[in-house]
Amino acid sequence: MGLFRLVTGLPGPSGFGSASTAEQVTAGIDASNLTVIVTGGASGIGTETARVFALRGAHVIIAARNLEAADGAKQLIQRTAPASRVDILELDLSSLKSVRTFADKFLSMDLPLNILINNAGVMLCPYQLSQDGIEMQFATNHLGHFLLTNLLLEKMKSTAKKTGIEGRIINLSSIAHIHTYNEGIWFDKLNDEDVYSDRKAYGQSKLANILHANELSRRLQEDGANVTVNSVHPGLIMTNLMRHSYLLMRVLKVFSYVLWKNVPQGAATTCYVALHPSLKGMTGKYFFDCNEEMPSYWARDEKLAKKLWDFSEKLVKINLVKPE
């Protein structure tokens, strides 16, 4: 992706670019027969993504840790789309127990599931472990979504088979995936506080989002399932995600203001990849500014993706917290 296109907002091959908004990239699309889950839909680009889905007629499930904020997002959506169908379910992605509870509750609603937007995350937080004993950025950004996706996958496959409508899973990654640890994923040092870097740990978790999408895409293709999986970089947007580095990001924005997006622009790539008919059958790809881009070397490593999958499977089955 050329810097000129990013700065100017000129469209790429898709017809859209960095200046495109979520409403623009979904104009004319009827999503009234779709059910979508948006994790982290209570704020930022998650709320805008949920709003645009609702505007296009989809039944939206906002999955959020903060139920009060989620209710505020629901009210906002219903003001702009009075006929919208929006439900809220509690989900804390840093807790494997919460992920399982969420999945059970959703499945008990006996709804179809066409689209899963793995949007929620944390960024550049100080070193801490989740209640399952896993480094927080990896636990929240990757592992929670890994478990959630697997728990909902049969529902997505059966919905696609029953309706004939292609299911789509979108992992929100980041260009930050290029700034990770030396081996890509530090499997043996995941919880090592002595070598912890908030920036590299964030990059590692965002790399994991792409590797997860790629490996799941490969498995679904082998299975013949009518479900695609892609990853996206939404762009630089000042949202609550940056609460742990707000001052630093404000300073950075002063010197790189031409690269930053507003929230409607930040939600555009997610909505484009999730809804646009031109991407039918497109899977295992990485998108930036509504156009396919080439991710890093590590992100294209099939052996690393398989290793991460196996590692993640073990983590979601084993509680790393040592007994008292």
Each residue of 184-212: pLDDT tens digit? 999 999 999 999 999 999 999 999 999 99
* Other beta carbons less than 10 A from residue 30's beta carbon: 11
Spatial distance between the Cα atoms of 168 and 173, rounded to a whole number of angstroms = 16
Angle at alpha carbon of residue 243, lines to 291 and 76, rounded to 5°: 70
Which of the two residues, 14 and 245, has the higher pLDDT score? 14
Spatial distance between the Cα atoms of 268 and 51, rounded to a whole number of angstroms = 12
157, pLDDT greater than 80: yes
Question: What does the pLDDT average to over 214-221?
Answer: 98
pLDDT digits (tens, 9 = 90+) for 132-154: 999 999 999 999 999 999 999 99
Spatial distance between the Cα atoms of 32 and 114, rounded to a whole number of angstroms = 11
Query: What is the reported pLDDT for 49?
Result: 98
pLDDT digits (tens, 9 = 90+) for 229-279: 999 999 876 545 444 444 544 544 444 444 568 999 999 999 999 999 999
Spatial distance between the Cα atoms of 62 and 49, rounded to a whole number of angstroms = 10
Query: What is the reported pLDDT for 114?
Result: 98
Confidence band, pLDDT 50/70/90 cuts, at residue 182: confident
pLDDT digits (tens, 9 = 90+) for 34-67: 999 999 999 999 999 999 999 999 999 999 999 9
Determine which one of 196, 202, 246, 272 is catalytic.
Answer: 196
- E strand segments, the chain: 35-39, 59-64, 85-90, 115-118, 167-172, 227-233, 236-237, 260-261, 286-288, 291-293
Q: Classify residue 127 by its DSSP letter.
A: S
Start-to-end CA distance of the chain, whole Å, equals: 51
Query: What is the reported pLDDT for 320?
Result: 61
Q: Is 286 a catalytic residue?
A: no
Question: What does the pLDDT average to over 293-321?
Answer: 92
Output the average pLDDT for the chain.
Answer: 91
Query: What is the reported pLDDT for 191?
Result: 96
Question: What does the pLDDT average to over 93-109?
Answer: 98
Query: What is the reported pLDDT for 172?
Result: 98
Which tokens belong to 60?
């939206």
Full set of structural domains in the chain with CATH: 20-315 (3.40.50.720)
